[in-house]
Amino acid sequence: MAETLYESELHSLPLLMRGKVRDVYAVGVDYLLIVATDRLSAFDVVLPDPIPGKGAVLTELTHFWFDRFAGTVADQRVDIPLERILDDAEIAQVGGRAMTVRRLDALPIEAVVRGYVVGSGWKDYQATGAISGIELPRGLAQAEKLPAPIFTPATKAEAGDHDETIAFAQAAATIGAQRAAEVRDTATRLYRSAAEYAAERGIIIADTKFEFGVDVHGELVLIDEVLTPDSSRFWPADGYATGISPPSFDKQYVRDYLEALDWDKTAPGPRLPADVIANTAVKYAEARDRLIG
């Protein structure tokens, strides 16, 4: 596997798109090859410097959670070895960071579940006393645990645009009330299960983002990345405190660095110092090691 990969170059398959982190290739008409690169996006801007090994960590963790949730929710994977679709040089390039999946109809919302009031949720709470239209108790401190996890769906932004939190009613209007309720209940259930597991390993999952698709039979399918440091806010339990944004194993470390710069959060993103790149790689790897062992 390539130690660092900013952008994949596969000639055996047609490239469909490059997302903020993933390159997506067609495998015939029914399947896709998703390559998790080492690109890092912050504030919806792809930064110019990759984080070595990041894509492999995202892929390994996603496989782990797919396996852990097997039997409770369908996932997108298919058993098509890379040897059947790529040549040796391409396998050396993307092995360990590529996943072959079914081509599904992705739902146009992100299923965000929050267990703590932090990040954009904290800003919304300070301004309105609510997140995603859900009224919360008064007097909560930053990073305080919520009485129960809440489902706060968001729009799915294109590269360069910003995701926006929406009320459940808007999600229901977008994908249908029954489907929205199914997504809410499934995402919340998965979050509770993962948070309980992670807590036993010294990690607090403050919030996370799931994505879902629908297959030809109308079944809900878990897709994309699952409970990774890119899609979740992971806190070390021994460093947790309220009233602050706690230290994290995820890209919040990079966000905090960027917040201190004179940058307007539009492309192009600033270069990252070598120590920030190295420390971020260590944080991602430690999250994986704590969760998987």
pLDDT in tens, 182-233: 999 999 999 999 999 999 999 999 999 999 999 999 999 999 999 999 999 9
Q: What is the CATH number of the domain that holds 59?
A: 3.30.200.20
Q: 175 lies in a domain?
A: yes
How distant, in Å, are the alpha carbons of 41, 217, 247 from that of 233? Answer: 15, 33, 10
The rounded distance, in Å, linking the Cα atoms of 132 and 145 is 17
What integer pLDDT is reported at residue 286 of this predicted model?
94
Residue where one domain finishes, among candidates 103, 126, 147 = 103
Q: What pLDDT, on the 0 to 100 scale, is given for residue 1?
A: 52
pLDDT at 158: 61
The mean pLDDT value for 135-164 works out to 88
Q: Which domain holds residue 192?
A: 106-248
- The chain-wide mean pLDDT, for the chain, equals 95
**Residues 272-281: tens digit of each pLDDT:** 999 999 999 9
In Å, how far from its chain's centre is CA 184? 17
Domain check: are 220 and 142 in the same one? yes
For residues 81 and 113, membership in a common domain is answered with: no
The confidence score (pLDDT) of residue 3 equals 84
**pTM of the predicted model as reported, rounded to 2 decimal places:** 0.94
SS3 state of residue 252: helix
Which position has the higher pLDDT, 14 or 2? 14
Phi, psi (deg, nearest 5) at residue 34:
-105, 120
The reply to whether 239 and 198 lie within a common domain is: yes
Residues of the chain with pLDDT > 90, as a percent, come to: 91
